[in-house]
Amino acid sequence: MSRVLLVEDDEKLAEQVLGQLRGAGLEVDWIADGLEAMTTDPGKYGLWILDLMLPNAYGLDILKHVRESSDVPVLLLSAQNDTKIKVRALELGGDDYMTKPFWPDELLARVQARLRRPDAVHEDRLEYEGVVLDLAARQLLVDGELVETTRVEFDLLALFVRRHGAAIERQWLVDRVLDPSRDGTERTLDVHISRLRKKLGPYGKCIVTVWGVGYRFEGEPAPAHRAFAGGGFGSAGGRADLGAR
């Protein structure tokens, strides 16, 4: 899905971003109010571009609200370069973070990279390196061999590949994958991750520990799913910082 939602209250910046993305052939909707973003259906979009400082709602609160019902990729924009804020944004499920001002072609490249990753929400089969995940049949193949997984292990891996490259908070995984009545603790989650890594064999290294946050999946997409690697977004003469106030 190439439809993008831009949530940004700076009208001048929004116009620049809209022009850049629409010029690349993307369908983009624009919302300037945080409260309106809170009531927007995340499932209508393939990507959100979300500013942190908005009228009527804080960007991180909007992000938390989105994550309650959707795994849609969220790219955060902010004039704040505070590491703690960036880490918190990742903990809450943000997929990327850009500090204003930024180069327009860099923003477009990041948007294209997110949109061109395997559309995990809509595909039944995902492939990363030697790992194949059949979502419909709930089967895992490693280098062509069927590997038995538990319900938790399969759901964890499916969630990882859906949000490939994004740091995912441990407690967020606990809340959405583990059974709270039986094993809903971060320590138990770590045990499941350890077992899953072993079952993935040489690809267990694709599940990377993000210290102080949680985990990130960094497998290389199979050739049919490789992200677009071309350059040349925007002209050299049109390069300008976006977001400077």
* Tens digit of each residue's pLDDT (9 = 90 or more) over 51-98: 999 999 999 999 988 888 787 889 999 888 788 888 788 778 888 888
232 Rama class: left (phi>0) / alpha (psi -120 to 50) / beta: left
pLDDT band at residue 241 under the 50/70/90 scheme? low
Which pLDDT score, from 0 to 100, does residue 123 have?
55
1 CB neighbour count, 10 Å cutoff: 14
End-to-end C-alpha distance for the chain, whole angstroms = 32
Instruction: Find the range with the poorest average confidence among 138-147, 181-190, 231-240.
Output: 231-240
**Taking residues 186-192, what's their average pLDDT?**
90
Which pLDDT score, from 0 to 100, does residue 225 have?
41
pLDDT band at residue 169 under the 50/70/90 scheme? confident
Helices (H) and strands (E) in the chain, counts: 8, 14
Which pLDDT score, from 0 to 100, does residue 18 have?
94
* Tens digit of each residue's pLDDT (9 = 90 or more) over 203-240: 999 999 998 888 989 877 655 443 333 332 223 333 34
Task: Report d(CA 15, CA 174) in Å as an integer.
Answer: 40
Which pLDDT score, from 0 to 100, does residue 231 have?
32
Select the more confidently predicted residue: 3 or 220: 3
Q: Are 53 and 100 in contact, with CB atoms under 8 Å apart?
A: no
pLDDT band at residue 31 under the 50/70/90 scheme? very high
Structural domains of the chain ordered from first start: 3-116 (3.40.50.2300), 125-224 (1.10.10.10)
Which pLDDT score, from 0 to 100, does residue 233 have?
26
The angle subtended at Cα 13 by Cα 11 and Cα 14, nearest 5°, is 60
**Taking residues 138-142, what's their average pLDDT?**
91
Give Cα 167 to chain centroid, integer Å. 8
Which pLDDT score, from 0 to 100, does residue 146 have?
93
Per the confidence metrics, is the pTM higher than 0.75? no
Q: Are 22 and 39 in contact, with CB atoms under 8 Å apart?
A: no
Select the more confidently predicted residue: 152 or 222: 152
Which pLDDT score, from 0 to 100, does residue 221 have?
65
Task: Name the percent of the chain lying above pLDDT 90.
Answer: 38
Which pLDDT score, from 0 to 100, does residue 126 have?
80
Please say whether the dihedral angle defined by the alpha carbons of residues 54, 44, 168 and 229, taken in this order, is positive or negative: negative
Which pLDDT score, from 0 to 100, does residue 122 have?
44
